[in-house]
Structure 1
């Protein structure tokens, strides 16, 4: 109905836009590029890549194909397989949880009670990033507000369908069903489905990421890097460090603690910087200064050092 908006300017005048100059953006990008590249390199190393290990998947059975290759052809085929594996292991983004949208644009009491339904107004112009797309809702009370994230996700799925995504989350994401699926060690399946259904900064995606505890099931998959980054930001890496030491992945454990530079004011980051610590010394600093399960981490370190000493004899 025509009375829902007096004019487009009524909407735009209610929106406060934050202007960022290109020079400001350039300085920010240049200051963060180096650190970002280093973090990506560490997460890629922790992800791991093993061309000899493939997870069983259901697919049509076909007879194997055998080829005779020269050394040069074998080297080329191996490199091609490695590049394909690296593409498959590309990490999905891990973002901070998005803040709720509670922006009221106007209160028009004159419209209160004129209808019982809410009206949604969406800018469906092509070539506009979805995050910048303007979506507002007129309530029966006359309130004009911005759509919440959940409403935006549903509306965008209507106008710009994403393959595999549903308007409502599948039943698998209900708490009781997740427990059953995790009990079957199908963590990777859940995250694959989660990546399609939810935005990476939605509360639902982050909630499911928090439940990942069986690290071996995600190692050498595209999800382990995102899990590591989340745990580092939340300062909850004790379990992963212990698991790495028990799996003889001490270099990955060192790299993991090295990521604590994202918390520059933490005791681990400051002492490591002062002492120029590396290797097992860095792990000992973490156990002493930061770990919430210091006893377990120290025991895992001692067991690793003992095993390494015995194997070197």
Structure 2
């Protein structure tokens, strides 16, 4: 109980200072490479138009989440175009040791220096304790995964190891407990799906979607899976049969699913329910 109270206080303290939430940067997950490449010889990237179209479509729109009250009005972001040289110069920070040695700054030192000279509203010089793994586990028990990811966007740079660590731990906990709906209709859902597809951990997500009658979203996830893993048996068989829709799900369950029995049972229940609905709608 003491851990719960401490973590709740930590979150409230951070939330009071986190008045600006930044849009999830597309480049954060672009470095997650696929097993092989598409027709142009390049691995699909998170920012690719086709990938974004898929992720946007399956994110969904929950009006209660979309129009819930916010603590403070968000200001539109300001964008500045930079060359690669300018970007490298801005991010390159060195430290002079007392003995005269010049070295590159660690991630923690770089973050502190950037925040010191270019302060960002809501960000602390030292990351709050809530981002420690033991405290994250307590927050996850409260189903506050979205809050943690929002705070992570404020506190860490998208290419920071802590940014990736917090996101990965959050996605793993959601997958472990099947709480995918916590991020549905939020800015974080697409990043979670991208992470799961890259890691070939989509079985639980597929089952959740099928049980929610989101069969088209299920097929879209498998289509994205085939884009990232085109040499897998599922992608090859689907290509040979030119499969679409629910047939994609059946092929994946038969060839690559790690929980084939559960996926097939969910599909069977979905098809039986669909048949009953059709019969009821056609009856006088």
Q: TM-score, normalised by structure 1?
A: 0.63
Partner SS state of residue 129, structure 1: helix
Number of equivalenced pairs: 220
Change (3 A) 1:300 1:31: closer
Residue 256 (1) aligns with residue 256 (2): no
The answer as to 2:204 corresponding to 1:239 is yes
Q: Which of the numbers 188, 192, 195 marks the counterpart of 1:223?
A: 188
Equivalent position of 2:18 in the other structure? none
- Of 237-246 and 178-187, deviating more is 178-187
Alignment partner, residue 8 of structure 2: none
Report SS of the residue matched to 1:277.
Answer: coil
The aligned counterpart of 2:112 is: 154
- Tell me the equivalent position of 1:169: 127
Q: How far off is 1:264 after superposition?
A: 2.0
More helix by share: 2
Choose 190-199 or 128-137, whichever is displaced more.
128-137
Residue deviations 1:103-151 (CA, integer Å, cap 9, x gap): xxxxxxxxxxxxxxxxxxxxxxxx9436753312233455432223332
- CA, structure 1 residues 131+50, in 2 after alignment: closer, same or farther (shift >3 Å)? farther
In structure 1, the residue corresponding to 2:253 is in which secondary structure? helix
Q: Aligned in 2, Cα 1:207/1:55: closer, same or farther, shift over 3 Å? A: farther
Match of 1:138 among 96, 100, 103: 96
Post-superposition offset of 1:245: 0.6
2:237 paired with 1:271:
yes
Q: 1:49 to 1:154 in 2, by over 3 A?
A: same
Q: After TM superposition, give the deviation of residue 57 of structure 1 in Å.
A: 4.6
Query: Deviation string for 1:173-200 (max 9, x for gaps)?
Result: 1223222222222111111101111222
Partner of 1:94: none
Residue 181, structure 1, aligned to residue 181, structure 2 = no
Gaps of 5+ in 2: 1-39, 77-84, 280-284
| Corresponding residue of 1:190 | 148
292-301 vs 241-250, greater mean Cα deviation:
292-301
User: How has the CA–CA distance of structure 1 residues 182 and 31 changed in structure 2, closer, same or farther, with 3 Å as cutoff?
Assistant: closer
TM-score by length of 2: 0.69
Moved more, 201-210 or 280-289: 201-210
Cα deviation, residue 40, structure 1: 0.6
Q: Judging changes above 3 Å, is the alpha-carbon distance between structure 1 residues 148 and 224 closer, same or farther for their aligned structure 2 residues?
A: same
**1:212-266 CA-partner distances (Å, limit 9, x unpaired):** 3111111111110111111111111111111101111111110001002122222
SS of residue in 2 equivalent to 1:137 = strand
Structure with the greater alpha carbon radius of gyration: 1
Distance (whole Å) between structure 1 residues aligned to residue 66 and residue 152 of structure 2: 22
RMSD across aligned C-alpha pairs, in angstroms? 2.9
The 3 A distance-change label for structure 1 pair 137 and 59 is closer
Q: Could you tell which deviates more after superposition, 167-176 or 205-214?
A: 205-214
Matched, 1:38 2:4: no
Give 1:282 deviation, angstroms.
0.6
